[in-house]
Amino acid sequence: DAMVIQNPRYQVTQFGKPVTLSCSQTLNHNVMYWYQQKSSQAPKLLFHYYDKDFNNEADTPDNFQSRRPNTSFCFLDIRSPGLGDAAMYLCATSISNEQFFGPGTRLTVL
């Protein structure tokens, strides 16, 4: 089945220790997104790629970076995680209005 895969599902890191979350897709969609969702809040868009074109949201902290080496893979790098970065991180893809989400990675910062 075509899908969006996120690894790992659960990630624990220490305060200030860099961490990378990964996302892959078999849908061959040209747009990929990263969202941050905190408990009982709306998913918040961090950035998206249209093919290789990177689009950063104005309020995304500099601490968050992303890489998309090819159509299938996209990475979220958090350079120095703080306690406030603990959240669910959702990856999504699309070719039109509807988005297809992965299961998410829950990040814990100790």
Residues near another protein, by CB under 8 A: 4, 31, 33, 35, 40-45, 48, 50, 55, 57, 90, 92, 94, 97-104
Output 60 or 79, the one with its CB closest to another protein: 60
Q: How far is the CB of 75 from another protein (least distance, A)?
A: 17
How far is the C-alpha of 83 from the C-alpha of 33, rounded, in Å?
A: 23
* Amino acid making up residue 22: S
DSSP string, 6-35: EE-SEEEE-TT--EEEEEEESS--SEEEEE
**Residue nearer to another protein on the CB measure, 73 or 101:** 101
- 101: which 2 tokens? 């989400």
Q: Whole-number minimum distance, CB 27 to another protein, in Å? A: 13
Q: With respect to another protein, which residue has the nearer C-beta, 12 or 95?
A: 95
